[in-house]
């Protein structure tokens, strides 16, 4: 263990586990030191011991929150891992659009959304495939434990480095505008996502029900029982034909039997039959991957309805009208729109894409915030 005192380490370890689920093993004690020493200084302490003494007093919620925030890993990128968004476009979206032909509404949750790339990727993917969900209200909610990171997500400003990770250049041109030396997600795209500070260890009931949950690259920081607790809480907020997306290093297998993998899709799960799943409101989708999407031919109500709140208790409506790209900017994330089966011209001031050539991908370098 590094030079942090053993009892201080144990206190911080316990506090982080209780407050956020984060497990810090003794071999990661150096992380406590490197990330918390600046926090200690900013709260007027000379060392970590003094910080822990103040935390033990238990009266400074601001400090406790700063400590948890500092220990979270906010690593994220646009269209992270690629495949989940391809599967979203090609299978999950068409399957649920078919199943919800009655109520014509879907709710998507980016749980542990970090600085927002995941939720914005979902929004862009939807816009690139607008013809596939014409007339639907789709609500996207992004939540995270960290106030600071959520502020960044809401702001939608990204560095050159961040937009070079996973974001096709055509989408950068189409959905972002330059803000000084940064790139900001256009206002109408930002208005498609609602943001809310939320701890996955808290009761999920107030969030309402979600048809699609992206809970990616956060369970890896939890121990088995916390993973189970969070996954089973998510299961209770999903209809039986909902879809759960996990990160590449995450699984439900050996953790809970409430979910089962969807045949043919990687990293995507649905509620296991006979495990207390609530019935879906529409016709039930299959347990296997739906065939790749063909965009619906009718465009009667394209662009006529805002992306709006679809059933979250106490939620407010979203203000933005999803612009319909007439040409896909996103290569493999936008195939449905390129089929030319009803996509409408941009409806809210978005510029047309400047080109539809091959994806321009840049080096996928790692950052550590």
Ligand X SMILES: C[S@@+](CC[C@H](N)C(=O)[O-])C[C@H]1O[C@@H](n2cnc3c(N)ncnc32)[C@H](O)[C@@H]1O
Binding site for ligand X (CB under 6 A): 20-22, 72-76, 80, 112-114, 118, 144-146, 149, 199-201, 216-218, 247
Nearest distance in Å: CB 14, ligand X: 15
CA distance 130 to 337: 7
Return the ∠ at Cα 200 (arms to 38 and 20), rounded to 5°. Answer: 35
Nearest distance in Å: CB 145, ligand X: 4
Q: Is residue 123 within 8 Å of residue 193, measured between CB atoms?
A: yes
Nearest distance in Å: CB 115, ligand X: 7
Kindly tell me which of 68 and 280 has the beta carbon lying closer to ligand X: 68
Nearest distance in Å: CB 83, ligand X: 13
Nearest distance in Å: CB 321, ligand X: 26
DSSP string, 200-234: TTS--GGG---SEEEE-SSGGGS-HHHHHHHHHHH
Nearest distance in Å: CB 218, ligand X: 4
Nearest distance in Å: CB 63, ligand X: 17
Kindly tell me which of 150 and 350 has the beta carbon lying closer to ligand X: 150
E-only strand ranges, the chain: 105-111, 137-144, 157-158, 176-179, 182-185, 193-197, 212-215, 243-246, 259-261, 268-271
Kindly tell me which of 145 and 293 has the beta carbon lying closer to ligand X: 145
Q: Classify each residue of 242-262 as buried b or exposed e, where b means 16 or more C-beta atoms within 10 Å of its C-beta.
A: bbbbbbeebbbeebbebbbbb
Q: Is residue 299 within 8 Å of residue 342, measured between CB atoms?
A: yes
Question: What order of strands is seen across the sheet that includes strand 182-185?
Answer: 157-158, 182-185, 176-179
Kindly tell me which of 48 and 200 has the beta carbon lying closer to ligand X: 200
Kindly tell me which of 229 and 352 has the beta carbon lying closer to ligand X: 229
Nearest distance in Å: CB 230, ligand X: 8
Coil, strand, or helix at residue 118? helix
Nearest distance in Å: CB 196, ligand X: 11
In the 3-class helix/strand/coil scheme, how is 331-343 assigned residue by residue? HHHCHHHHCCCCC
Closest CA relative to residue 188, chosen from 57, 58, 65, 347: 347
DSSP 8-state symbol, 20: H
Q: Is residue 79 within 8 Å of residue 167, measured between CB atoms?
A: yes
Kindly tell me which of 86 and 144 has the beta carbon lying closer to ligand X: 144
CA distance 76 to 80: 7
Kindly tell me which of 163 and 218 has the beta carbon lying closer to ligand X: 218
Kindly tell me which of 77 and 137 has the beta carbon lying closer to ligand X: 77
Neighbours of 102 (CB within 10 A): 9
Coil, strand, or helix at residue 326? coil
Kindly tell me which of 248 and 319 has the beta carbon lying closer to ligand X: 248
């Amino acid at each position: 263990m590094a030079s942090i005192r053993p009892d201080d380490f144990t206190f911080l370890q316990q506090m982080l586990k209780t407050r956020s689920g984060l497990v810090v093993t003794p071999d990661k004690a150096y992380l406590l030191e490197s990330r918390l020493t600046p926090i200690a200084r900013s709260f007027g302490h000379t060392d970590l011991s003094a910080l822990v003494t103040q935390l033990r007093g238990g009266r400074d919620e601001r400090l406790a929150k700063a400590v948890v925030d500092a220990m979270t890993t906010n690593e994220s990128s646009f269209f992270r891992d690629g495949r989940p968004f391809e599967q979203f476009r090609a299978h999950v979206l068409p399957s649920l659009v078919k199943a919800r032909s009655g109520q014509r509404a879907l709710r998507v949750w980016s749980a542990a959304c970090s600085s927002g790339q995941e939720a914005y990727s979902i929004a862009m993917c939807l816009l690139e495939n607008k013809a596939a969900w014409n007339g639907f209200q789709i609500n996207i909610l992004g939540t995270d434990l960290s106030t600071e990171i959520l502020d960044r997500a809401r702001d939608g400003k990204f560095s050159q480095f961040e937009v070079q990770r996973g974001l096709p250049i055509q989408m950068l041109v189409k959905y972002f505008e330059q803000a000084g030396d940064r790139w900001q997600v256009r206002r109408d795209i930002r208005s498609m996502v609602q943001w809310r500070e939320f701890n996955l260890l808290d009761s999920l009931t107030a969030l309402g029900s979600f048809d699609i949950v992206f809970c990616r690259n956060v369970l890896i920081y939890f121990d088995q029982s916390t993973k189970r607790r969070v996954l089973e809480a998510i299961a209770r907020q999903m209809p039986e034909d909902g879809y759960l997306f996990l990160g590449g290093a995450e699984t439900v297998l050996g953790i809970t039997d409430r979910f089962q993998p969807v045949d043919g899709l990687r990293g995507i799960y649905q509620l296991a039959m006979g495990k207390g799943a609530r019935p879906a409101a529409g016709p039930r989708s299959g347990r296997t991957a739906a065939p790749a999407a063909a965009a619906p031919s009718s465009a009667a109500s394209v662009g006529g309805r805002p992306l709006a709140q679809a059933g979250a208790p106490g939620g407010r409506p979203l203000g933005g009208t999803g612009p319909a790209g007439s040409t896909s900017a996103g290569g493999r994330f936008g195939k449905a729109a390129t089929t030319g089966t009803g996509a409408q011209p941009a409806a809210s001031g978005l510029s047309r894409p400047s080109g539809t050539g091959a994806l321009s991908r840049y080096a996928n370098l790692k950052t550590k915030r």
